[in-house]
Structure 1
Amino acid sequence: MSGQGVLRLRGREYGPDSPAVMGVINRTPDSFYDHGATFGFDAALRAAEAAVHRGADIIDIGGVKAGYGAYVSAEEEARRTAPVIAELRAQHPDVVISVDTWRAPVARECVAAGADLVNDTWAGADPELARVAAESGAGLVCSHSGGLAPRTDPHRVAYRDVVADVVATVEELAERAVSLGVPPERIVVDPTHDFGKNTYHSLELTRRLGELAGRGWPMLVAVSNKDFIGEVLDAPVAERWAGTLAVLAVSAWQGACVFRVHDVAAARAALDAVTGLAYANAR
């Protein structure tokens, strides 16, 4: 790999020709996808173990539902995430672990427990989060939420050009993180489908992901079973996996390198097929 568009964490490299599957583990009782199936401590560890065996490169632990729901304090969020991260790190010393949080105090506890990456899906809502990554040596996800506060949904959102807005936002956040001391190879940008966007915006992003990938930052896509896929297919959450795989393939072909998913095995197979086709002559 050339170094451009490559993410380096825990001695591993991920790029468009060697994509990472990020398995989702939600320690929440109200997840839109699994409705609390991995809320329990032991259930979360079993799910993480299964994800690793099915081909996950990164395990992403979250303690708060992304959308509307019951209030969760930072202290409670840390109680849900840090102990699982510590146990997972003890069981799997080599696996890359991510914490899905927008709060600096939670990130600090989770990095101390063993997390390698801070997955901020709310576009730097807590400006101290990047500083935590810089001081701890962790990686950082820089995302786009259209100016929305955490856990809020878009209402009549509009952009002159959604892709241009995404590029400008994530690059500003990434450059700030670098200025604070986060190494560029530990930063990954996320266009953040459906966050601060309607279905039209998420589809436009999907068609034009190559424009973001072309800026040189490693790119993460988190589209698994999301509403824009459901709206296009007129499908409930349980029936969106075929659409998810299609979007993963389109995203991989355009240069994304980290894929946050619920079904690790299916995503791994699909991404291996795409990279095999795309880079067959380069190997």
Structure 2
Amino acid sequence: MNDAPAKHDNSHTIAELLRSQLNKFSPAEMKIVNHLQANYPMSGLVSITELSENCGVSTPTVMRTLKKIDYSSFPTFQKALKDELQQTLSDPIAKHDKWATDAPESHVLNKVADTVTTNLRHSLNQISHEQFDAIIDLLAQQDQALHIVGGRITSAFARYLNTHLEVIRENVYLFPEAVALWPHHMLKIKPNDVMIVFDVRRYEQDLITISKLADTRGAKIILFTDQWLSPIAGYATHTLPIRIEGKSGWDSGVVTLFFAEAIVVALEEKLWAQTSARMRELEDMFDLTERFKKRME
């Protein structure tokens, strides 16, 4: 069996490989998988002996687990984890330099289109229909308030999703832009409320902190993250690991927006009887305020 770098060529993260093989792991091996995912990737950056002890399994069980994702040696597995960790810490300049060095000769539109298509394909392979449907079922429970928050860049996705969901259902709240006011907003969060969090590399400490606080308050977290997984995944009820590779110093947000829009479509369909009434009421208010140009009679 080939070592991972030669076979995988960095096209899949270890987290993605683990999720893709979930139905092939034994109960003992699942202990390792769950442990690695709970604090990814740091939980794998220990000795094989410590990892086996932390999981309550033998070292041969650790190796059997790794071989199922095509890693034939523990050092190779750890090197891949360290490479992933380095990628999560990359700043825009480092990402641009790497892209500029590796980029094939073609028009930028083709490069971006190819990257987005690849990101979408990888992401759809990682997120099952059953998981997506479970998220929609959770969001449809309107007795549970919904709180939405994002970071420096991803707050744009949070605002987009909030604008649509607050029309579709009741009790939808966007965290304030001022991070200093986030603890104030936390006072609103009750047990079984739902919090949607957007967090991608370089993983923002403020988002991690409020997610931990929300977890202690009994909230259910839906996490939009990247292929390397934000530390918030350890608190999340549902995690959407979305590919964000970009052809610039910035990560791509196209597929993240795709999943946000898919949630809007699915939830609107599920709650249409109520949503349509809310939409009509909203349109009446727009007419009264003359917010939009009216159609020609």
Q: Which has the larger helix fraction?
A: 2
Could you say which structure has the larger radius of gyration?
2
- State the TM-score, normalized to the length of structure 2: 0.29
- In the superposition, the TM-score normalised over structure 1's length comes to 0.30
